Each structure stands twice: as structure tokens, then as C-alpha cells.
Structure 1
Amino acid sequence: MPAQRKPSCRPVTNQTALLPDPPTPLTRRAALDAERLAQRARAPRQLRHRPLPRPRIVTGSPTRPRRALSSQLVITSAAAAVVLFATAALPGPATASVAAPATILAPGVTGQSLQVAAAALDPTVQRDSFTVSTPAVVSSTPGTATGQVGAVTGGGDVRWPFPGPVPQSSGFGYRIAPCATCSTAHQGLDLTPGAGTPIGAVADGVVRVSGRHSEFGQYVIIDHQVGGQLVSTLYAHMIIGSSPLRTGQRVAVGDRVGLVGSSGRSTGAHLHLEVHQGGATPIDPEAWLRSNAGRNF
């Protein structure tokens, strides 16, 4: 029997015996196929969506368009709302009932009671009655008056231009213009005693102007001293040539200034009277005459 050889403990010096064999080089086509397989393995799978099945169309039944169905739904909803509103609006019969008390009272405690008269349960509705009446309409125009002024006669340093009450057609201030060329800001007092009525000076004074004007027609301005203050009066729309006064002439209270006419810018025979405080500022002639007529200064 041959002797067994003991394993040697010496290290292996030939390293090439342990390396694997080198891979066999691939052809160009095989290398391209291997690269495509590797790319497919690395790419994530995409889920394929299956199309939903289409609804089956039942033959033999009419198909309505969506617009017709929506209009029917709207009409049906409106009809239901009308029915509900009419049902709620219908008055029900008037009934009177007394509900049983739901609260249990303690022993010895008496509840409150209410007695209602039979007349309170009468369902008859009592309605108020009223009458309609039309009141009389009173015509009123701003700056226009139809009353009479000038009631002071006799003595006094200041007097009205006419001896008795005369109609007034237009007052001082804003008014509705009586003509297309007339002013709405009326600065005087219009008196209508009648055409040809004599006009008297309201106080002693000196004639400043006596002449004709395109607007005032035949007119006169007189300066007065009343209570130590200068007050001027203007008389307009007189008959042409009816004034005997001249510029610078002194006049006494009541002297004739002229005759009532309709010269200048006028719609009828009347006296347009103005009162100027300080000789230049127009003030209400009616208010001034009511305060000073008949007084002695």
C-alpha cells in the first residue's frame, strides 16, 4: 500500500489557477440585444387602462334630449312651488280650541285661568271705513300777491303812493317772470289801481332822475331824508309825458309824480315802486311802507 502524502502547508504561489475564465466576447448584434433587454428590465411597467363598457341602448323606447328633461324638471319644480304657496296662502277655517295643561301642579297649588268672552271668538272681521275728499286748491305763486296794500291816509311824513288800498300783482323777491324778457328777481312792488290813476310821492325829497328808460319806461327817482337816513324811491311804467317833475326839483309828500301806465317792459298798466336803502340797495317796499307810513320824523 503506497504511503499517503501529507498536505503541504506552503502557500500557493500560482494565483492564475484561482481566477475564472475570461468571458467570451459577444458580437455587435448580440451586444445590442443584451442592452435592449437590460433597458426593458430597468423601465417601470405601465398599467394599461381598459376602456369602460358603453351603456347598452334599449331599442324601442324614445330618447329625450337633456335640454328637454331639464326644462321639464324646472317646470315641475315651479309647479310644485306654486302648489305649496297656494296651499299655504289659503285661509283655513277659524277654530278656537283650548289645549289641556301639560304641566303637573303640586298638590295645593291652583293654576291660573283665563275667561274669554264669546264675542272674542267671532270670526267676523271688522273693517274700518273711510271717505275720500278733495280739498279746494289755493293758487299761490312765489313773489306774487293778489291782496291790497296802502290803507294809511291823512298825515305823516311817509305815505303810500295812493290814498286808499289798491290791488297788488307782484311782490318783492323771487317770482315767476310774467314775460320772456321780464326778471325773476323782482326788486320792487307792483300795484294795479288802474290805468291813469295819479301817483303821489311817498315823502319829501329832491328829484334825481325824471325821464325815459327802455325797461322802466317813463320813470322818476326821488331822494328822501327819512329819520336822518337817505332813502330813494323809484316810480316806473308811467304814461309817457304824464310826469310834471324835472331833475333837481323839490317835491313834497303826496305831490303828483305821474299817472299809472304800461310803458317800457310791461305786461299791463301798473306802478312798479322800488325803495333803495342808502340810495342804492333795494329793499322790500311793502315792508318799509308798513313800518313808516303815517309816522312823523
Structure 2
Amino acid sequence: MQPTARVRPTVSRTQRTSRLTVVSAVAAVVLFASAAMPAHASANTAMATSTIAPTVRTQDYAVTQAVASASTSRDGFTVNEAKQVVVAAPKGTGALTAGAVNSGAEVTDGGAVRSPFPGPVRMSSGFGWRSAPCAACSSLHQGLDFNPGMGAPIGAVAAGTVRVSGTYFSYGQTVIVDHVVDGRKVSTLYGHMIPGSSPLRVGDQVDAGQFLGSVGSSGVSTGAHLHLEVLMDGTLPVDPRAWIESHTGRAL
């Protein structure tokens, strides 16, 4: 009796092709997923880095040569380096310096009482009531205005002691000197000078005619001029022109 031979099942070509297709599809999905994941993680990493530490553009500032070399001006004049001139000092005060003195220690010469300028000088507003020349100007003018020009040196009317030297209310740069004339206290006020033009300090002793500062237009002013006041007993204003002429014996 012959042994019965096992018959192996026959797999059709169609079934074999279907299996290969399924296996290939699964492998493709696995390969796609493994290839896509690193790229996605890299993109997230780059995004996180950009969010945590963004690049900040700083701002640069530059000063141009024109700005660096621009001149400073105030009250119609330019501030420049003044030429240094030595002025004779009152006793015990040491040497003084000023940029606007043209001739030695004395601006004027003469007796114990003098005009603040050598020779005749044009005068504008006199002492007393007037039409106010500006909105902030006073109608009652308590002084006398001299117009010798911007920068003209101003001399002390008489010898005395400096009580004020600096900015003084609407007078701008001012010097006030206390004197004793004919046994009575008299003060003279010199207003609207160029800031920084006076070498004097409070307490300095000055001689008649000595340089006090330069004519300017500081404070409430409509132009370069010297505003001079004469104050009896240091407070009572009188006509400077009449007072000076009565002591010098000649017209201003």
C-alpha cells in the first residue's frame, strides 16, 4: 500500500500579490513617520529658540560735527572765549580780570563823582513817568538809560563797596555799589550788563571810575543799554542825571 502523499495548498498569484502590497504599504507608513518626526522636532526647536531669545536691534546715536561745533548764544550775543585783561585791584582784593576793559583800571577819570562813561553818550529813557517800551517794562522809570553800544565798559560813579554782583530781578546782570557822598549813604545800580562781564564779588572795594562790567541787554530789556539808578540812603531813587551833574559841575 502506497503512502498517501500530502498535498500542499496552492497559493494563487493574486493572493501573493495582495500580501506584498499590504506589507509594502505598512513599511512606507513607518518610514514616512520616522522621517517626518525629526524634521517636526527641529522646526519646534527653532521656533522655541526664536521665542525665548529674539534678536533685538539696538539703536545707535551719532553727534554730527555741525552740532558738536555749534556756538552758544544768549540775549543777542554769542558766547566766545574772552581775551583776558588784568585790571588794577582794590586794596586787599587781588588782581581782577575782565574781557571788555580797553584802558587800564579806570574807565573814566575826574573827581570823586563821575559819569559811568568817558565823554558824551546818547541817553534814551530818562527818570520819571514814560510810555512803557515793552509789556514787562515799567511806566515809572526810576533810572537813566545810556546807549553807548553793546560791550562798552562801565565805570563806577564813585568809590564804594559792592553790595550786589550777579543776576538781580528784572535788571538781569547787575552791580550795586554803596557809597558815602557828602556824609550820606548813596547807592548806585548798574543793570542789564552782559552776564559774566563783571569781575566783582560782594564785599569788593572799588574806586571811582573803576571797571564794573560791560553794557548788555540781560533781564527785561529792549536792547543793549546801561540802566543806572541813584538811591539815596540805599533805597530812595532820585534822578541820576541831576545828581551826577550837581556833583561834577558839568552836563552829561
Q: TM-score, normalised by structure 2?
A: 0.55
Paired AA for residue 207 in structure 2 = A
CA shift for structure 1 position 293: 2.1
Which position in structure 2 is the counterpart of 1:230?
185
Which position in structure 2 is the counterpart of 1:293?
248
The percent identity for this pair of structures is 65
CA shift for structure 1 position 214: 3.7
1:181 aligns with 2:136: yes
Contact 2:150 2:216 (C-alpha < 8 Å) held by counterparts:
yes
Unmatched segments (≥5 aa) in structure 1: 1-152
Q: 5 Å matches for 1:1-297?
A: 154-293=109-248
Which position in structure 1 is the counterpart of 2:27?
none
Contact 1:156 1:294 (C-alpha < 8 Å) held by counterparts:
no
Paired AA for residue 240 in structure 1 = P
Give the distance between the partners of 2:170 and 2:234, measured in 1 at CA: 20
Root-mean-square deviation (CA, aligned residues, Å) is 1.3
Contact 2:109 2:209 (C-alpha < 8 Å) held by counterparts:
no
Give the distance between the partners of 2:181 and 2:227, measured in 1 at CA: 21
* 1:290 aligned counterpart, secondary structure: helix
**Cα deviation code 1:203-233 (max 9, x no counterpart):** 0000011110240000010000111110000
* 1:275 aligned counterpart, secondary structure: strand
Tell which has more relative contact order, 1 or 2 (C-alpha 8 A, sep 6+): 2
Paired AA for residue 199 in structure 2 = P
Contact 1:198 1:259 (C-alpha < 8 Å) held by counterparts:
yes
Higher strand share: 2
Paired AA for residue 155 in structure 1 = G
Give the distance between the partners of 1:278 and 1:214, measured in 2 at CA: 20
Paired AA for residue 199 in structure 1 = I
Q: TM-score, normalised by structure 1?
A: 0.47
Kindly name which structure, 1 or 2, has the bigger radius of gyration based on alpha carbons: 1
Unmatched segments (≥5 aa) in structure 2: 1-107
Paired AA for residue 291 in structure 1 = S
Paired AA for residue 249 in structure 1 = D
Contact 1:194 1:270 (C-alpha < 8 Å) held by counterparts:
yes
CA shift for structure 1 position 154: 3.7
Contact 1:157 1:294 (C-alpha < 8 Å) held by counterparts:
no
Give the distance between the partners of 1:251 and 1:174, measured in 2 at CA: 32
* 1:196 aligned counterpart, secondary structure: coil
Give the distance between the partners of 1:154 and 1:257, measured in 2 at CA: 14
The runs of at least 4 consecutive aligned structure 1 residues that moved more than 3 Å come to: none
Give the distance between the partners of 1:256 and 1:181, measured in 2 at CA: 29
Paired AA for residue 185 in structure 2 = L
